[in-house]
Amino acid sequence: MTHLQRALCIGLFATGVGVAHADVKQASADNFLIVHSVAVKAPPARVYGALSEINRWWTSEHSYSTDAANMNLKLEAGACFCERWKDGSVEHGRVVMAMPDKILRLASALGPLQGRAVTGILTFQLKPQEGGTQLDVSYVVNGSSVSALDKSAPPVDQVLGEQVSRLVRYVETGTPTAAAK
């Protein structure tokens, strides 16, 4: 685990989000695999339902319109994870698998990866466990070796980790932001 990843995990623990594991599992010039695993104090149905409320928990800083309220995601195969605003629109991904309360999978090259002709699969897997849900979020991205994906993996991991922690806080507290101390 890199220094940046350790700092991210420490930061998530400090905000009260119980991260069991957050890591770039593999990275090379032509691919990377990121995995975030966390216990959520809510049943799988609540966690799964919250995925469709992406406009409430995704951070506006990581949107094209600078307003996450412009994002939408319907939990069914073929649905668009899209962002639409007055001056434009973007498809962040497309749902390729939706199994209520179990798994949501999107074909998605997020953010700047979209312009690099790579393919990505973002998976949210939910498993019931005592006291709530085990949420495993994985993101696998593949491209040509000129994509230099090994250099992109740490910042993508940081952004994805931020979104996962915001989702967990939203599910558990009703707000995606950490309480001020």
- Contact assessment for residue 70 and residue 56, using Cβ atoms and an 8 Å cutoff: no
pLDDT digits (tens, 9 = 90+) for 111-152: 999 999 999 999 999 999 999 999 999 999 999 999 999 999
Cα(22)–Cα(165) distance, rounded to whole angstroms?
A: 11
Tokens of 30: 């032509």
pLDDT tops 50 at residue 5:
no
Query: Which domains are seen in the chain, by residue range?
Result: 3-173 (3.30.530.20)
Cα(18)–Cα(82) distance, rounded to whole angstroms?
A: 29
**Pairing mode, if any, of strands 19-28 and 119-129?**
unpaired
pLDDT digits (tens, 9 = 90+) for 25-42: 999 999 999 999 999 999
pTM attached to this predicted model: 0.87
